[in-house]
Amino acid sequence: MADEWFDSSRIAHTTRWQLPLPDRAAVHDWLSSTLETTLALLGQLPADAGADDLYFFRLACLHEAMHAEAACYMARTIGFELPGMLEERPITVGGELHVPATRWQLGSPPDGGFAFDNELPAHEVDLPAFGIDAAPVTWDRWQAFVADGGYANPRWWTGDGWSWAQRVRGTSPSFPSGRHAATHLSWHEAQAWCDWAGRRLPTEAEWECAAMTQPGFDWGHTWEWTASAFEPFTGFRVHPYRDYSQPWFRTRQVLRGACAATSPELAHPRYRNFFEPRRADVFAGLRSCASR
C-alpha cells in the first residue's frame, strides 16, 4: 500500500490531496519498520562494500535530506516558523573577485565518491576571464532595485518575467533590508536585477570554478540562480533512480550553493540543484557576474 500513497513517480500532484492516507500513528509505524529493514540490510554488507553496493543507501539518505529542506521552505511559505533551524548568517564581505581565463573541469570526477547522475560525466570547458561578486546579493542591494521602480518597469524583464512579476509581486512589493542574502526570489527576479544593475548571472561553470578556486568566495547563505538551463552533460547516463534528473531536463534552471536548511552532505560546490524559474518559495537568491 505504501507505494500507492507515497510513490511520487506514480502519483500525480493533482490527486495527492484525495488519497486515503493512513493516520499519523500508522505512518510512524511504517517509517520505523522501513528504517529497521534498511539498517538491517546495510548491516549485512561486507566491510569492503564498494560504491555500487552503497549506492541506494547513499541515495536514500541524500534524498531524505532534500525533503527535509523542502519541509523547511514549505513551513516558511505557510507562516510556520522553525525556531533555531534557519539561522541565516549576515554577509560581511563585498566587492568583486577576478577569475582569470582557464580550462575548467565541470562536474564530479569519477573517483570523487557518490555523485548524482546529472553531475556526470565530468568534462572540460573553456572559461574566459570574468568577474563575480564575492558574496550573494544582499537585501540592501536588492532594495535599490525596488526603490528605482524595478517592478514597475518592463524594461528589466524578459520572457515570462514581466507577467510573473505583476501577477505575483505587483508594482511595489515589500522586502526586508539589511546585510543578509536576498532570498525567496525567482529566476525571473534574479535576471531582472542583473539587467537593471548592468550585470549578468554566472553560468554554472563560472560559479563552480569561482567557488573552488577563489579563497574569498563566500557561499552557503542561499541557493543561487545561474544562467544555465538544467540540461544533461554530454555523455549523460541515467542512474537507477530514473526520475531524479531525466524528466526535468530543459524545464528548470540550475542553482548552485546551499542555504541554512541544507544538509552538510549536500552542501558542496559541484552539486546541481534545479527548479522552475517561477519558483520563489525555495531558498533562492543570486550573485552577479561580469565578463572581462
Which portions of the chain are predicted below pLDDT 50?
A: none
- Cα(190)–Cα(181) distance, rounded to whole angstroms? 12
Could you tell me if 225 and 187 are in contact, meaning their C-beta atoms sit under 8 angstroms apart? yes
Structural domains in the chain, sorted by start: 2-77 (no CATH), 96-291 (3.90.1580.10)
Q: CB 47: neighbour CB atoms within 10 A? A: 4
> Average per-residue pLDDT in the chain?
93
48 CB-near residues (< 8 Å, 6+ apart): none
Residue in the block written with cell 553531475: 119
The CA–CA distances, whole Å, from 206 to 105, 128, 262, 271 equal 11, 9, 22, 14
pLDDT of residue 112: 72
pLDDT of residue 110: 81
Query: Phi and psi (nearest 5°) for 127?
Result: -115, 120
The C-alpha cell of 42 is what? 546495510
pLDDT of residue 1: 63
pLDDT of residue 10: 82
- Cα(46)–Cα(192) distance, rounded to whole angstroms? 53
Give the residue from 229, 212, 238, 211 showing the smallest Cα distance to 121: 238
Helix, strand or coil, per DSSP, at residue 139: helix
Alpha helices in 133-200 (DSSP H): 139-147, 161-168, 187-197
What are 172-221's pLDDT values in tens digits? 999 999 999 999 999 999 999 999 999 999 999 999 999 999 999 999 99
Helix, strand or coil, per DSSP, at residue 133: strand
- Cα(179)–Cα(54) distance, rounded to whole angstroms? 42
Question: What is the chain's length?
Answer: 292
Could you tell me if 129 and 112 are in contact, meaning their C-beta atoms sit under 8 angstroms apart? no
pLDDT of residue 11: 83
pLDDT of residue 85: 62
In one-letter notation, the amino acid at residue 115 is A
239 CB-near residues (< 8 Å, 6+ apart): 55, 116, 117, 245
